[in-house]
């Protein structure tokens, strides 16, 4: 490999740079000459095609299959948008002359649409809606839900005491004075009011109303669940278009 050191005046760093540049050229030439084996090696080592990485799930914690199914479908849509860059390869809307050449959500062969309210919508807009929900909207709503839950559990659930009943069993009774009745109670507390006020209907003191926050929290959980179901079914509707 003497050709790496033709210039005897080069520094050690310069000679190493030449060595690695030449090495890379050799690897690049090999990949070009053996494109199919190289791609198989790439997929095998770096991007196996039989695996969907569930980035929002822990590798060391149990997760039920219903959640895995949802995460896997959403991740596939995310990968499609972020890694395949579909709009660079396919005309999803109009061509350069303004002609509508993209795919739309319409009936075929008299079949009924699962989401009739989307009839005539661009398929790519539907795919983007799923992607935006998973990447932007859902994380924000989940953060809000967790914030409400933490606020309710820390300050509004109250303290309970164990009381023996006539049968000899015990029940937990709420200690009424442990529930705040004045907003001054929250002064100096580390509370994310910016998030909580989004659900206070314009009046922060509503947090003192019995069950107000717990109801808002349950409504938010229900909203997230229903939206997840909708996005999951919507992903199935656009499945046949997830190619580049």
The whole-number pLDDT of residue 22 equals 78
Q: How does pLDDT run across 95-150, given as a tens digit for each residue?
A: 999 999 999 999 988 788 999 999 999 999 999 999 999 999 999 999 999 999 99
Provide the percentage of residues in the chain whose pLDDT is more than 90: 63
The whole-number pLDDT of residue 206 equals 97
d(CA 131, CA 11): 51
The whole-number pLDDT of residue 17 equals 73
Over residues 15-20, the mean pLDDT reads 74
Q: Which of 140, 49, 45, 125 is nearest to 93 (CA)?
A: 125
Q: How does pLDDT run across 192-201, given as a tens digit for each residue?
A: 999 999 999 9
d(CA 153, CA 138): 22
76 contact partners, CB below 8 Å, separation of at least 6? 52, 235, 242
Whether 3 and 23 have beta carbons less than 8 Å apart is answered as no
pTM over 0.85: no
Q: How does pLDDT run across 29-78, given as a tens digit for each residue?
A: 666 655 556 666 666 666 777 788 889 999 899 999 999 999 999 999 99
The whole-number pLDDT of residue 36 equals 54
Whether 163 and 171 have beta carbons less than 8 Å apart is answered as yes
Q: Which of 108, 141, 136, 109 is nearest to 123 (CA)?
A: 108
d(CA 235, CA 214): 32
User: Which of the four pLDDT bands, split at 50, 70 and 90, describes residue 180?
Assistant: very high
Q: Which two tokens stand for residue 69?
A: 């199914």
The whole-number pLDDT of residue 161 equals 79
pLDDT: is 109 or 191 the higher one?
191
Give me the residue spans of the domains in the chain: 1-51, 52-241
Is residue 4's pLDDT more than 80? no
d(CA 208, CA 180): 7
Q: Which two tokens stand for residue 83?
A: 């890694």
Q: Which helix (H) or strand (E) holds 164?
A: strand 160-164
Q: Which two tokens stand for residue 137?
A: 């909207």
Is residue 220's pLDDT more than 70? yes
Whether 179 and 158 have beta carbons less than 8 Å apart is answered as yes
Q: What is the mean pLDDT of the chain?
A: 87
The whole-number pLDDT of residue 124 equals 98
CA angle 189, 193, 199 (to 5 degrees): 135
Q: Which two tokens stand for residue 121?
A: 């919508």
d(CA 124, CA 105): 10
């Amino acid at each position: 490999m003497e050709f790496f050191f033709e210039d005897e005046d080069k520094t050690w760093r310069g000679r190493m740079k030449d060595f690695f540049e030449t090495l890379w050229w050799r690897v690049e030439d090999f990949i070009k000459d053996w494109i199919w084996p190289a791609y198989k090696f790439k997929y095998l080592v770096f991007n196996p095609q039989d695996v969907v990485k569930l980035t929002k799930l822990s590798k060391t914690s149990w997760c039920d299959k219903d959640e895995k199914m949802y995460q896997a479908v959403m991740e596939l849509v995310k990968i499609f948008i972020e890694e395949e860059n579909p709009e660079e390869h396919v005309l999803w809307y109009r061509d350069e002359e303004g002609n509508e050449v993209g795919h739309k959500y319409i009936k075929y062969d008299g079949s009924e649409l699962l989401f009739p309210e989307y009839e005539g919508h661009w398929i790519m807009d539907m795919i983007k809606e799923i992607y935006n929900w998973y990447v932007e909207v859902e994380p924000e709503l989940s953060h809000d839900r967790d914030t409400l839950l933490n606020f309710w559990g820390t300050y509004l659930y109250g303290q309970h005491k164990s009381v023996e009943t006539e049968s000899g069993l015990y029940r937990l009774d709420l200690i009424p004075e442990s529930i705040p009745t004045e907003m001054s109670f929250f002064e100096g507390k580390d509370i994310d009011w910016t998030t909580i006020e989004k659900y206070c209907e314009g009046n922060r003191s509503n947090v003192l109303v019995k069950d107000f926050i717990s109801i808002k929290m349950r409504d938010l959980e229900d909203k997230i669940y229903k939206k997840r179901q909708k996005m999951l079914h919507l992903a199935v509707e656009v499945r046949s278009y997830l190619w580049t």
